[in-house]
Every structure is written in structure tokens, then in C-alpha cells.
Structure 1
Amino acid sequence: MTGMRRTLGLSILLALAATTAACAGDGAAAPPQDPAVLVGRAFVSTAVSGPQIPGGGPLVVEFPDAGRIAATAGCNRSFGSVELGDGVLRADRLGSTLMSCPPPLDRADTWLSDLLASEPRWRLDGDVLTLDGGEVSVSLLDRTVADPDRPVVDTHWVLTELVTADAVSTSRALEDAAPTLTVAGDGTVSGSTGCNRFTGTATVGDTVVTFGPLATTRAACPDPELARIESAVLGVLSGEVRYTVEGAAMRLTAADGVTGLGYTAR
């Protein structure tokens, strides 16, 4: 009888040990994911725990190719190499655009730099990416779900950026003038340079918009900055122009491959 009790006691102890090990396994951290799950995707922030993004963001993080990252928190766009091994995002020595942003957006770049410098842990669950830097934790949703690409045609576009070989820039004059562009379904074009109105025609392809000659009103621009903006607009909206659309943002690039216009859907 004593031998049976010892055997029964040992069996119970082994069962309890197995149960305890199973429970511990259930609570263990999930193994790091393959970084390939992020390649070709972009994410937009939906919630921030900790210090908030100056100006409200959102934070947009893109992984255009393996080992590459691009990100913006509402002001400049940072881009460069990234390492994603062991579930940690490591990105230093990133390049950046050089746009001057008004307060409080002028502090968004520092917020982004601090987040990346913290080497946040990352985790993808379906369409939700989490970046946890300790002091700041951000939840981001796949941009195709959070902010679908707007169609080029029948969207009211407002010019928000001028692109040159040196910088992507904005200005108070550009914000106040708010030049527009609309390509209608019948191929007609209308809009403004911020100083004059224009009309014309355009054909929209998969990656190229071909603009016909534009007819404009003839008002004199009252400000040299407005004249510069008008010259940039008319210089790009001519002939074959390459375009990209990311959510509510459209970039038109002239035939020189450098000069461009950044529009936002409104």
C-alpha cells in the first residue's frame, strides 16, 4: 500500500509540474517575427501611449524594400537603412528632407528621432504594427486599410509642397494661396496656380499624366513668392508627368525627374 501511495504521489507531482510548465509557456513572449512580413507595406499611427506627436502627426512608417525604411511624424521625411532582427527596429544615420515646418510641427522630427533612437520593439498582428520604445508606444494600421489611395481623377487636390533638387518646401504664401488641381473623368483639367486660374486637358495612365496645353487667366501676381509658385506649377503641369499616390498625398514629377509638386486631397 505504501508503494502505491508513493507512486500515486509521484504521478501527481509530475502532472502538476507539466501543468505549471504549460502555463508558463502560454505566458512566454512570442518569438520574433520574420522582417519580411513588413516589406512593401506602410503603416499609419492610430494611437500613441506616452508623449504625443507634436502637431498630432500621424506617424507614417514605410518599409519599401528589404532593409529600407521611410518615416514621417508630420514634418520632414526620414529614410535609409533599417535592421529588424530579433524583433527590434534599429535605424540610425537616416537621411531627411529639409522642410521648415511651423510650430508645433517643428518638434515632430525630434519626437520621431527619439522614438527611433530608443530602438523600439516591433510586432505585427494582422494589419496592426506596434512599436514599443518604452517611454513611447505606438499602434499603427496598414495604410491600405487606414488611408486608402485616392484616385487621381475626380479628386480635389491642393498643392502643399514644392519639390526641387535641393529640398521639399512649403511656405506661408503657399498655404494661403492653396493652388488646386482637378482632373475630371472626361479628361478636362481645372485649377489654380495660387495667382491665376487654368483649364486644359489631361490623359491619366497607370503612372503618367499627360497634360495638354493649359489656358490661364492673366492677372499679375501681387507677390514675388506667388509668382515663383505659379512658375513652378506651370513648369510641372506640362507634357508627360510621372505621378505617385500614397493615401491622400499625390506627387507629380516633371520630365527632368527632380522638379515636382506635392498635392494633398481635400
Structure 2
Amino acid sequence: MEREGQNILAKTAFLIIVAACIVSVAWTGGVDTPPDSANRVTEPLSGTAWNLVEFRADNGSVVAPLHGTAPLIVFGESGTLSGSAGCNLYSAPYRINGSTIAVEPVVATAAYPADEQELVQQENRYRELLVAAASYRVEDDRLTISGPSGREVLTFARAEQPGSVPLLATEWHLTRYTTGSGSTVASPVPGTDITLVFDGDGTVSGSAGCNAYSAPYQVNETGIGVERIIATKASCAEPAGIMEQEKTYLDLLRSAAGYRIVGDTLAVIDGNGRAILFFTADP
């Protein structure tokens, strides 16, 4: 989980589904004003990315994020921010006017490793503080967000703007998948590599860990459907659990209804809006 969190935070910019992350550009001046003139006004956070370094806990103290799970926020160019909350991906519309900022309710995936209550609490608190944002300031490489009372609640350090990876023609490698009711996630069995490739001809294919598979798919901006998966019939004895994992993976892939991409992370979402599969692009 730590490696995955760091990978997301180092390169990301979700989805989503969930994806993915952008803020508007305003213009002033008359109709004859050229676009490159000094009258052009650009929203100041557009195109920037930030890693959380500290936040206001429930008890009022200022604390650092759990190791390896620091949230990332990316401001795009169409009034939407997105990123990783530490484990799950999120996005939300927002508005800036001068030094004030308003963030609308966050849409996020919702899957966690088992027994990670601290991470659940941190993500919930982060999203709560983000939606409560009232003002902000940028000083050098620090972004500070304050709540309605003027109290500082979130502090970020500037991060490199991550590049976005296309859904098609990318080899995606499974990093986590949901288990049980869909609210907890597991990592793939060590020694297995589950892959996913969307081809432009409408076919998805890859390795399910033991067997190769393929299927027709349909996709639009955030929706996806996978039909009639065909797989080879080999039976692998090792590593332990590989065949059970393969069945779970293919069943989850059949239930795909949407997706989000943040940087090099792909989340596949089912019809209930739950993130069921997480992938990372082949480096």
C-alpha cells in the first residue's frame, strides 16, 4: 500500500472517472484586445499540483499525513480539481475569486485495505477540510488553505505537475482490487502480474495472472462496458491462490461500468459507483 500511495502521489494527476482536473481562464479588455496582451487574467492555481504536508486534526492539532499516504491535489483548467486522498482518487468542481476558494462536494472512490482505520479517518478528514475551504494563499512553494474562521486547515508543498496517461494503447498493471462487499482492497498475489490493454479496435485483452483473456468493450468519456470475456483454460498451481484471484478479477472486470484516470493510475468503477480495480500504467 505504501508503494502504491507513493506511486500515485509521485506521478498522479485521477480520473475520474475517478475521472481525472482543470480550472477556467478569464479574459478582460475590449473585443480588440489580443489574447497575449497584459490584460489576460489566468486563475492562479491552474496547472499546479501540491502534496499535503500537514492538516488540522479533529482535536485541533496540526499533524502530518500518515507515512506514504500524503494526499495530492491537482488544479486543472476547467474548474475541476482532482488527485489522490492517500488511497482513493477524488475530484470536485471549485471556484476562485481573488483569495477566496469554494470547493463543491467531493466525488471519490471508496475502497481501503483491511484494518486501515487510520487511513479511512485521514481521508475523511482531508475531504471534509477541502470542502470547508474558504480562502487560500501561496507563498513560494507552499499552498495554505483556511476555513471560514480564517484558521489554517491544510498546508501543501508544490509538486511537479504529473502527466496524464491515455486509456487506450497503455498497458495497465493491477495494483489493488476489491474483496468482500467492495469496501476493502487487496494487493495481487506475489509473483502474479495481471494486465489490461484497451485497443482502438474495441477489444480489451491481457493476462488474468494465469490465463490470457480478451473481450469486446464500449467506452465514452467516463463510462465503460466489457462484454463476453473469453479466456484460455490453463490451470496454474502456483503461486497459491492464483486461480481464485483470477476468477475474482474477471468477475470484477465484467461488472465494469465506469473509469477514472489520475496521472498514471486507472480506477475501474462498477454500476454502484464503487472502485473495484486499480491499475498503474507500465512505466
Deviation at 1:63, TM superposition (A): 9.0
Deviations 1:12-66 (A, max 9, x none): xxxxxxxxxxxxxxxxxxxxxxxxx79xx897425848976444445234799xx
2:208 corresponding residue in structure 1: 193
Q: Does 1:75 align with 2:93?
A: no
In the alignment, is the contact (CA less than 8 A) between 1:158 and 1:263 conserved in 2? Answer: yes
Q: Secondary structure at the match of 1:152?
A: coil
Deviation at 1:264, TM superposition (A): 2.0
Query: How does 1:57-206 map onto structure 2 within 5 Å?
Result: 57-61=69-73, 72-76=84-88, 97=110, 99-100=112-113, 110=122, 113=125, 116=129, 121-123=135-137, 130-132=143-145, 137-139=155-157, 146-163=161-178, 166-174=181-189, 177-194=192-209, 196-206=210-220
C-alpha separation in 2, matches of 1:176 and 1:254: 27
C-alpha separation in 2, matches of 1:140 and 1:242: 31
Query: Which letter does structure 1 place at the counterpart of 2:113?
Result: S
User: RMSD of the TM alignment (CA)?
Assistant: 5.4
1:229 corresponding residue in structure 2: 245
Query: Which letter does structure 2 place at the counterpart of 1:74?
Result: G
Bigger proportion of residues as strand: 2
CA change 1:151–1:212 in 2 (3 A) is farther
C-alpha separation in 1, matches of 2:252 and 2:75: 28
Name structure 1 gaps, 5 residues minimum: 1-36
CA change 1:201–1:149 in 2 (3 A) is same
- Does 1 or 2 have the higher relative contact order (CA < 8 Å, sep 6+)? 2
Deviation at 1:155, TM superposition (A): 0.7
Bigger proportion of residues as helix: 1
C-alpha separation in 1, matches of 2:219 and 2:92: 30
C-alpha separation in 1, matches of 2:214 and 2:111: 33
Highest Rg: 1 or 2?
1
Q: Does 1:214 align with 2:230?
A: yes
C-alpha separation in 1, matches of 2:107 and 2:258: 24
In the alignment, is the contact (CA less than 8 A) between 1:61 and 1:72 conserved in 2? Answer: yes
In the alignment, is the contact (CA less than 8 A) between 2:256 and 2:269 conserved in 1? Answer: no
* Equivalent residue pairs, number: 223
Deviation at 1:243, TM superposition (A): 2.7
C-alpha separation in 1, matches of 2:219 and 2:112: 30
CA change 1:110–1:154 in 2 (3 A) is same
C-alpha separation in 2, matches of 1:90 and 1:159: 35
In the alignment, is the contact (CA less than 8 A) between 2:86 and 2:123 conserved in 1? Answer: no
In the alignment, is the contact (CA less than 8 A) between 1:73 and 1:108 conserved in 2? Answer: no
TM-score by length of 1: 0.54
2:277 corresponding residue in structure 1: 261
In the alignment, is the contact (CA less than 8 A) between 1:241 and 1:254 conserved in 2? Answer: yes
1:34 corresponding residue in structure 2: none
CA change 1:112–1:210 in 2 (3 A) is closer
TM-score by length of 2: 0.51
CA change 1:43–1:210 in 2 (3 A) is farther
Deviations 1:199-225 (A, max 9, x none): 324345324244443222421455775
* Residue identity (%): 17
Deviations 1:235-262 (A, max 9, x none): 1334874333232222223456657322
